[in-house]
Amino acid sequence: MPALLLFVMLTACAASPQDLSGKMFTFPQETDTARVMLNISTHNLKAVTVCLRSFTDLKRIHGLFSLATPSSDNGVLIIRNIDKVDLRVNDQRVDYVVDYELNTWHSICSTWDSESGLGQLWFNGKPLVRKFTSKSQIDKPLVTLGQEQDSYGGKFDIKQSFVGMMTDVHMWNYVLSSCEIQNYVGNLNFTPGNVLNWKALTFEKTGNVLIENKQLTCH
Ligand X SMILES: *[C@@H]1O[C@H](CO)[C@@H](O)[C@H](O)[C@H]1NC(C)=O
Q: Does 206 bind ligand X (CB under 6 A)?
A: no
Q: Does 183 bind ligand X (CB under 6 A)?
A: no
Is residue 42 within 8 Å of residue 194, measured between CB atoms? no
Q: Which residue is nearest to ligand X (CB)?
A: 39
Phi first, then psi: give them for residue 55, nearest 5 degrees: -140, 120
CA separation for the pair 217, 213 (Å, rounded): 12
Indicate the helix (H) or strand (E) that contains 193.
none
Question: What dihedral angle (degrees, nearest 10) is formed by the CA atoms of 182, 102, 78, 29?
Answer: -130
In the complex, minimum distance from the CB of residue 41 to ligand X, in angstroms, rounded to a whole number? 4
Q: Does 202 bind ligand X (CB under 6 A)?
A: no
Gyration radius from the chain CA atoms: 17
In the complex, minimum distance from the CB of residue 39 to ligand X, in angstroms, rounded to a whole number? 4
Number of residues that bind ligand X (CB under 6 A): 5
CA separation for the pair 126, 113 (Å, rounded): 19
Q: Footprint of ligand X on residues 16-75 (CB under 6 A)? A: 39, 41-42
Q: What is the DSSP letter of 195?
A: S
Nearer residue to ligand X within complex by CB, 142 or 165: 142
In the complex, minimum distance from the CB of residue 149 to ligand X, in angstroms, rounded to a whole number? 11
Residues listed for the chain = 219
Nearer residue to ligand X within complex by CB, 65 or 96: 65
In the complex, minimum distance from the CB of residue 203 to ligand X, in angstroms, rounded to a whole number? 11
Binding site for ligand X (CB under 6 A): 39, 41-42, 142, 153
